[in-house]
Chains A and B, each alone.
Chain A
Amino acid sequence: MSLTATSAEVEAPPAARRPMSAAEAWGLMMLAPYVLVFLVFVVYPVGYGLWLARHPASYVHLFEDPIFTRAIWNTLAFLLIGINAKMLIALVLSGFFVTERVWIRWLSLLFILPWAVPSIPTILSIRFMLNPEWGIVNSLIFRLTGDDGPNWLNDPTLALAFSMVVHVWKSLPFWTLILIAGRLAIPADLYEASSVDGASSWQKFRYVTWPSMQNLYLTCTVLSMIWTLGDFNSVYLLTGGGPADLTHVLATLGIRYLRLDQVDMSLAAVVCALPLVLPLVFFMMRRLAK
């Protein structure tokens, strides 16, 4: 059932003229706890935040801070490169995981682990693997080449790239799972018919799989972009925003200002993220309402 239909049904009856039924009263009472949570922990904080962030001076300060402009570019790079790479890999892997083999089924059980376990231990593990002195990556490089490897997280570009790698590592299983569900929903006789016609596997993908999946793929990409805008863990736990605050994204930057007790800057940074977030959110709401 669609969202628009629901609201129409709810608003349609001339409720105001009719005395409230017992069911209606129960309904309102049952809705009350969530409405209360929403008002107290969403509406009031956001409203108060916007009120605190109303001074133009905060925005002037913000745009004068080179760390902020850098964070904007990092965020965009994360969205465009990180997300699209992740979704493409997820699309390919969803095809791999629907292949029927016993060992692939076992592999799929392990594959979900990065998503199921908490971020902090695994990201710290990756962080230590990249440690220039003791990390396992540079140990292997030393053993193979006799040279010291690079100080991975000390180079802003590499550090940001590894933040994206961490993000992909963590959230790839979830999106692969969703795309697997999408593939399994495609009727098998479409594939049988194309086999009879002698289609190659690329042609099957091009003419059967992709047309049925492209809407799902787009929705997933947009949703993933929204959430990645708020991905604090991948960057904060791997690089801490460093070196020299060059790998911050908007999500970590807001918290950095907060920790520095620059609350108005922090809220201004959140407000500046809205032009990126809101169009995507409205796009998602419309898709779900269809």
Chain B
Amino acid sequence: MRLSLRAITTEAKLLLIGIPVLIWTMLPIYHLVLFSISPKDSALSGKLWPDHPTLDNFRKVFLQQHHYLDHFWQQMWNSFVISAATGILTLLVATLAAFAISRLKVRFGGLVLNLALFTYFIPAAFLAVPMYRTMGLYGLLNNQWALILAMVTIASPYAIWVLKQASDKLPHELDEAAVMDGATPLQIFRLVYLPLMAPSLVAVGTYALLLAWNEYLYAFLLLSRDTDVTLSVGLGNFLAADDSPWELLMTTGLIYALPPAAIYYVFKRYMVSGLTAGAVKS
């Protein structure tokens, strides 16, 4: 193989983009990792690699050896429970709605879909204030259900949209054949529809789960007790003090960021196709 001058310049041009992209992407994440493996003094010295890397910070976080970390495991568990509940409930609500709209062609289905899409476009931060007020009226403030229900409300519209798009692609002959065999809509839903929709259901469930896991604003508005909040709010509380143990904050942050990153890579195939298909259709 002969490397022409032209090929070398092309490669050099690509590297000229690739290297800055790598640094840009990884710098804040590397910084997080750097702090998590640095002893306290070294973390603040501005070195790019600690003289004595250590896992001591992880030990301190896991053993909750700082008053900021008193509820670390409890908050981790809260994050887990709230995300799992959001994922399951969103799937339930959205799958039923998408089936009714797309397969049963129910009356008002189109209207509901339009309203859902409208909700999806309204920025969630603007819904936060009215929702906070009404959660108070419903007596749900400081109850984890408030956060779960808020996240289901935010995740459902997009979930319905993506599932409806996927569901429209299934051939109608399937339903007709099932009806000929005497299947009720519920049987069609359970035996025909759900198995065929499995990949989209994985994408949508993961989307809702990650949305809830990563959420900060709603979590800190709707919950306040240290034993109720999610890990993201626990992390935000570090900000309150001037003498925050930054190396422990970064370590906790890294631990908190690992599950979503792992889940993303495991379900990458479904996520990317689901998202690119649903987010922008044109």
**A contact set with B: CB distance below 8 Å:** 1, 3, 6-11, 15, 22-24, 26-28, 30-31, 33-35, 37-38, 40-42, 44-46, 48-49, 52, 92-93, 96, 99, 101, 103-104, 107, 109-114, 116-122, 124-126, 128-129, 134-136, 138-140, 142-143, 169, 173-174, 177-178, 181, 215-216, 219-220, 223, 226-227, 229-233, 236-237, 240, 250-251, 254-255, 258, 263, 266-267, 270, 273, 277, 280-281, 284-285, 287-288
Contact = CB atoms under 8 A, between A and B. Distances in A.
B97 A285 contact: no
Given A41-B131, A112-B264, A124-B239, 15 more contacts: A10-B106, A10-B109, A11-B107, A23-B185, A42-B153, A45-B131, A46-B130, A93-B17, A128-B250, A136-B31, A177-B276, A216-B282, A237-B239, A267-B133, A273-B126
A285 B107 contact: no
B239 A116 contact: no
B115 A38 contact: yes
Interface in B252-282: 252-254, 256-257, 260-261, 264-265, 272, 275-276, 279-282
A45 B126 contact: no
B32 A33 contact: no
A48 B127 CA distance: 12
Q: What is the size category of the interface that chain B forms with chain A?
A: 35 or more
Nearest to B106: A27
A124 B252 CA distance: 12
B96 A285 contact: no
A9 B105 contact: yes
B14 A101 contact: yes
Given A41-B153, A120-B235, A27 B109 contact: yes
Contact of B46 (A136, A232, A233): A136
20 contacts: A6-B109, A7-B113, A10-B106, A27-B107, A38-B115, A45-B127, A48-B137, A49-B130, A110-B26, A117-B257, A117-B260, A120-B216, A121-B235, A125-B250, A134-B44, A134-B46, A226-B123, A263-B133, A270-B129, A285-B114
Contacts of A140: 46
B14 A45 contact: no
A34 B129 CA distance: 21
Contacts of A232: 125, 128, 216-217
Contacts of A135: 46
Contacts of A41: 131, 134, 149-150, 153
B76 interface: no
A280 B126 CA distance: 15
A111 B25 contact: yes
Contact of B280 (A118, A220, A226, A280): A220
A254 B26 contact: no
A251 B123 contact: yes
Q: Which of B31, B45, B111, B249 has the most CB of A within 10 A?
A: B31
Given A31-B108, A120-B253, A134-B46, A49 B129 contact: yes
Given A37-B152, A45-B133, A284 B22 contact: no
A107 B97 contact: no
Contacts of B105: 9-10, 27
A250 to B, nearest CB: 8
Contacts of A9: 105, 110
A178 B137 CA distance: 40
Interface string B196-217: 0000000000000010011011
Nearest to A133: B44
B93 A34 contact: yes
Given A33-B93, A113-B25, A277-B123, A121 B250 contact: yes
Contacts of A220: 280
A26 B149 contact: no
B100 interface: yes
